[in-house]
Structure 1
Amino acid sequence: MSQTVNKSSEQVTTSNTEQIFDVIVVGSGITGGWAAKEFCEKGFKTLVIERGRHLDHPSPKYNDMKAPWQLDNLGFAPETLKEQGRYSQLIAKKKVLQSDSIQFYSDDSEYPYSFPKERPFMWTRGYQLGGRSLTWGRQVLRWGKKDFEANAKDGHGVPWPIGYDDLAPWYDYVEEFIGVAGNKDGLDSVPDGVFQKPWEMSSAEQFISNNMAKKYSDRHLIIGRSANLTQPSKEQHELGRTQCQARAYCARGCTFGAYFSSLSATLPAARKTGNLTIVTDAIASSIDYNEATGKASGVTIVDAHTKEKRSYKARVVFLCASALGSVQILLNSKSKTFPNGMANSSGAVGHYIMDHFTGAVGMGEVPGLEDKFSYGRRPIGTYIPNYRQDKTDDVDFTRGYGYQTVAAGRPNSGTTAKKIGIGAEVKAQANQPKPWYFRAFMYGEILPYYENQASLHPTKKDAWGIPQLHIDAQIRDNERKMIKQAAKDIKEILEVGGCNKIKIIETPNDKHITVGNRTHEMGGACMGADPKTSVLNKWAQSHDVANLFVTDGACMSSCATQNPSLTYMAITARAADYAVKLMNEGIL
């Protein structure tokens, strides 16, 4: 077999239809990068398959060094996108599709999926080397013990086969490598970790936090924990990463490597070993299964440009293609043993689809502090952790919610170009400081409903002949009840915090809340102790296929309220360590 590797992109070409590696990792995002790093550093020849285009780091695609006038349309999204209906869901969601960052998001018209008309689902994707690690929000919060115990305690979903103590050392391991700016707050709901210097609260945020501490023992306003370097370690410097400049250009890509991404950290670490091969523009269509051995034998891909199929072989396969991406691949990996999709003897593949949701927003002015001003571009907001993990007599719902907040700031009035008037009076009004304000929106936990499901569309296929994913997921009465209580709670919190002119926005009960809107898709291949009800064991290893692991969001058995990426990374590092032991023992 002849093989050539282009060193600038590490893209592989071959004159043979098969190539053999120790490990194949499908996906190069947050979990794929971690799997690659762990296996390469342990001496295993590792292939990373990425369906999107190649990107270097730093990349010409990054726009973080450009002035506004150097950006197309001054950085704003062209109206033609809306007129054409392209990216329609993303525009509706977050207005993220500015011309400075649109290059990192995939167009729904090119990569279609389906959902019931009355229940839209929002699937945000980034098809390039590094995946969505280039666009994530970088809020890294540990789960607490109660989060892993909830399923078993209240009977919803499949009980987790692991607990906080199983992941704690891996949280440490991951945090030290990626670099987390955070404060040690001493809270069980979001345990402390390995932190660099935290970002500071503004005067208004500290004012609210102090007032809350006087009233509550269970509700806390803390500074967010961000994967942005504030005190880079020697290891981080050696990877070419440096301190965050607090420019708030994270969405454009970071030339400094100051925020953690696969491109800036895990893939460079894997590359240093000489054991890494990357193939881009390779769409994984299915995992190959050997009926004789009962194991996965490799991965079949479709070339994104030529649409030709190729196969790669390996001892172990790590599926890290994103929650829904991995579900699609599993369901499409059919064989005599698995006519309904690989690793699906339980019938649970595709079920228990989850995401966080919001539906209550609170805003208020912070009085006083007139001698203080808002300055700088901190890359993370503040956070109110979940304080409703235990059901109490005053609520009629299960699980709970926290609040993500924007920075409490004091904006200027800006220009008055749109106001009537001319002359000195108008000039005097321009750029005058407004009062301090604070805003928070709930982050609720969707229960793991079996009925929330992703399946292969029976007739529709994409441009590469792969069945489209059909996603049917919705919030239910339990989540609606959370919204009502969260609206009441945030009003009280703002009052206790000392705010005035409080405004509460609550989503009406009859309005559809789109699942996927928070970009935290989870579930579809859940972990559990019982092979009859779950897809993966406590190592994120398939119950059915011993050399297949799924460590992205698909493996999650519940979604808690915290941003999930840190937990994905810890699960991946732990699973890779276990797989390495089995490989060294000759079991895999």
Structure 2
Amino acid sequence: MANYNIDADKALTYDVIVVGSGISGGWAAKEFTEKGLKTLVLERGRIVKHVEDYPTMNLDPWDMELRGGLTPEEKDRHYKGGRSGFIGKDTEHFWANDRENPYTEEKPFLWIRAHQMGGRSLLWGKQTYRWSDIDFEANAKDGHGVDWPIRYKDLEPWYTYVEKFAGISGSAENLKQLPDGHFLPPMDLNVVEKSVKERIEKNHPGRKMIIGRVAHLTEPLNGRGTCQYRNRCSRGCPYGAYFSSNAVTLPAANATGNLTIRPFSIVQEVIYDEKAGKATGVRVIDAETSEVIDYKAKIIFLNASTLSSTQILLNSKSSRFENGMGNDSGELGHNLMDHTYRVGAVGQVEGFEDRYYKGRRPNGIYIPRYWNIDRESQSDKFVRGFGFQGGAGRGGSRAAANRAEFGAEYKDSLFAPGPWEFFITGFSECLPYHSNEVKLNTDVLDKWGQPTLTINAEWGDNERALNDQAQADATEMLEQAGLTNIVSFNNQHEMGYGIHEMGTARMGRDPKTSVLNGWNQIHAVKNVFVTDGACMTSSACVNPSLTYMALTARAANYAVSELNKRNI
């Protein structure tokens, strides 16, 4: 893409403003521009052009300073996000500066952000699963949270729609808790994974072990190349083999001639016209000049990421909305969720010493949820459930350093592969607790003098019970599968590590208990939509990004229909 029309005319009024260019924002841009609407995408950070701005995509550790480690200055810039262990020299340029963008933790919470065109779509794990009716009906059935205003049937055609364009590889399994989708050919399990799969499924007939469903191309699609098994995805993929806004949706939007992307645009608030009873645009602070600019549009889509979209709404105050736009229910900022992580087991698999695998497959195995899906699987210890991700592999020598040996024979021995290991780690659902909240902090300001967020959230008893069960189940499955030297783990991390923050502007049927309706509209402001993770009413236990894509495409289609009917 050579031209993003980034020198936007301040006087222009657009049909649509999309705030954020990540996974959901990119989809909103594509849908609106392809329907002929002049669309302004406001991006908080810099432009990142596909391929051209992936500086580390082909580097090995020895090509980088400190063999890929961060300098003290870089560590300081990421003094919060660095706790995750995900930020290295190969990706540091894609992560937000914590010093410029502070937040306050009343309880420990890891908020990992990426401020550039494409957002975290350049960095995500790409596991893509449909939700089922078990997920959409959970709140109504067990009484936690409010009922979703939609069901699986409402999203099913939109799941298919986005899957066909994004490109999802996977296998059809006919599981009611994990609906099948429109799949490209699945990646292969390696020889040990196939063996462990056979043993687990034999010992536990109600459990399945499958290859992960991922947004990676196993066949060419729309000019994009197939996955090369480099597993350097978070550096930016020059083949466009995995789904990112920069490689997939934004190029499609740009091709229409209807797209304008304005970088370095910090959205301060949504502007509300009390006489008209709707939003007229957004107020932006230029991140480079600190100039304040108002942009106008008929439709506003908030896709800045869960907490950032909610922060914008909380800051969008007027005499009509004294506590933030759309906050008639008092639920704005509440019901923050994430997925638990880093709980499971690892063990060695005997045999197969003469077998290896080719490449670095950017995918693993998946064991779908098997608790609380029917009468036979009900637990009296917890509600909802968890799934496992993991895989098998062989490492090299782990004792190369600090040894007295030397010489050619010793060096050759370091290339000998180690034993086969297999691990699984659980991702558990988090319930929507009203007490898990974010709020504006006017005492701590960001680099541009804007209020920041204070986050007060923690796991509850149900999440801890799910993790205990996941640890026990993982250990039992590996033991019964015949693995040895098994080590179980439960790291009991704070919220945020899953990087699946959801909620805080939830959808619902009743304006008295929710922020958005079944079309992702703010109940009281019909031309403002929120389709990123903020809209989620529950969290399920599967990765949420595919659902964000489907919700966004569905809401954009509805918004255009309502605009044509002059209802917004």
TM-score (normalised: structure 1): 0.93
Partner of 2:50: 57
Whether the 8 Å contact between 1:302 and 1:308 is mirrored in structure 2 is yes
Contact 1:374–1:411 (8 Å) recurs in 2:
no
Instruction: String of CA shifts for 1:454-492, please: whole Å, max 9, x gaps.
Output: 110142221222210111110011111112211111111
Q: 2:502 aligns with which of 514, 522, 534?
A: 522
Superimposed CA distance per residue, residues 238-258 of structure 1 (whole angstroms, 9 cap, x where no aligned partner): xxx211111111111111111
Could you tell me which residue of structure 2 aligns to residue 92 of structure 1? Answer: 83
Q: CA deviation at 1:214?
A: 1.2
CA distance in structure 2 between the aligned counterparts of 1:88 and 1:53, rounded to whole angstroms: 21
What's the CA shift for 1:79?
Answer: 4.4
**1:381 deviation in Å?**
1.2
Q: How many residues align?
A: 566
Quick one: which of 11, 29, 44 aligns to 2:37?
44
Report the 3-state secondary structure (helix = DSSP H, G, I; strand = E; otherwise coil) of the residue aligned with 2:329. coil
**Aligned residues of 2:177 and 2:369 also touching (Cα < 8 A):** yes
Code of the residue aligned with 1:346 in structure 2: it is: S
Aligned match of 1:30: 23
Q: Residues 134-533 of structure 1 correspond to what in structure 2 (within 5 A)?
A: 134-233=122-221, 236-237=222-223, 241-358=224-341, 360-390=343-373, 394-405=379-390, 407-413=391-397, 416-423=400-407, 426-427=410-411, 429-507=413-491, 513-533=493-513
Q: Does the 8 Å CA contact 2:8/2:260 hold for their aligned counterparts?
A: no
The superposition leaves residues 525-561 of structure 1 with CA deviations (integer Å, 9 ceiling, x where unpaired) of 1000001000111111111101110000000000111
Matches within 5 A, 1:544-559: 544-559=524-539
Displacement after TM superposition at 1:144 (Å) = 1.4
| Unaligned segments of structure 2, at least 5 residues | none
Q: Tell me how far 1:61 sits from its aligned partner.
A: 3.5
- 8 Å CA contact 1:115, 1:472 repeated in 2: yes
Change (3 A) 1:559 1:86: same
Contact 1:121 1:514 in 2 (8 A): yes
Q: Is the 8 A contact 1:401 1:444 kept in 2?
A: yes
In 2, the alpha carbon distance for the partners of 1:557 and 1:367 equals 44
Aligned equivalents of 2:169 and 2:455: distance in 1? 36
Residue matched to 1:587: 567
Once the two structures are overlaid, the 10-residue window that deviates more, 138-147 or 421-430, is 421-430
- Identity value in percent: 48
Indicate yes or no: 2:115 matched with 1:127: yes
Shift of 1:417: 4.6
Structure 1 SS opposite 2:173: coil
Corresponding letter in the other structure for 2:344: V
* d(CA) in 1 for partners of 2:226, 2:91: 22
How much is the aligned-residue C-alpha RMSD, in angstroms? 1.8
Residues 344 and 475, structure 2, Cα contact 8 Å, conserved in 1: no
The residue aligned with 1:3 is none
Quickly say closer, same or farther: Cα 1:428–1:359, change in 2 above 3 A: closer
The C-alpha deviation readout for 1:111-149, integer Å capped at 9, x for no partner, is 101111xx2111111100111111011111111110111
The alpha-carbon deviation at position 49 of structure 1 amounts to 0.5
- The letter of the residue matching 1:310 is I
Asked whether the equivalents of residues 179 and 232 of structure 1 are also in contact (C-alpha less than 8 Å), the reply is no
Aligned to 1:20: 13
Contact 1:72 1:100 in 2 (8 A): no
Q: Which amino acid aligns with 2:276?
A: T
| SS of structure 1 residue aligned to 2:46 | coil
Q: Quickly say closer, same or farther: Cα 1:65–1:525, change in 2 above 3 A.
A: same
**Matched residues in 2 for 1:158 and 1:583: separation?**
29
One-letter amino acid matched to 2:256: T
Question: CA distance change for structure 1 residues 559 and 8 in 2, over 3 Å: closer, same or farther?
Answer: same
- The 3-state SS of whatever aligns with 1:408 is strand
Q: Decide whether aligned partners of structure 1 residues 51 and 422 sit closer, same or farther in structure 2, where only a CA change above 3 A counts.
A: closer
Contact 2:170 2:185 in 1 (8 A): yes
* Secondary structure class of the residue paired with 2:465: helix
* 2: CA distance, partners of 1:215 / 1:474: 35
Tell me how far apart the structure 1 counterparts of residues 185 and 89 of structure 2 sit (CA, whole Å).
32
Q: How far off is 1:344 after superposition? A: 0.8
Separation in 1 of the partners of 2:136 and 2:378?
23
Q: Distance in 2 between matches of 1:409 and 1:353?
A: 35
Q: Residues 361-389 of structure 1, C-alpha deviation per residue, up to 9 Å, x if partnerless?
A: 20011111222113311011111111113
Offset of residue 310 of structure 1: 0.3
Q: 1:394 to 1:287 in 2, by over 3 A?
A: closer
- Cα deviation for residue 92 of structure 1 reads 2.0
SS in 2 for 1:277: strand
TM-score by length of 2: 0.96
Whichever residue aligns with residue 153 of structure 2, its letter is D
- Secondary structure of the structure 2 residue equivalent to 1:22: strand
Moved more, 386-395 or 273-282: 386-395
| Unmatched segments (≥5 aa) in structure 1 | 1-5
Note if contact 2:371-2:379 (Cα within 8 Å) is conserved in structure 1.
Answer: no
- Mapped contact 1:414–1:431 kept (Cα < 8 A): no
Confirm or deny that 1:73 pairs with 2:57: no
The alpha-carbon deviation at position 98 of structure 1 amounts to 1.3
1:8 matches 2:10: no
Hey, what's the Cα distance between the residues in 1 that align with 2:412 and 2:233?
Answer: 35
After the TM superposition, which of the residue ranges 123-132 and 364-373 deviates more from structure 2? 364-373
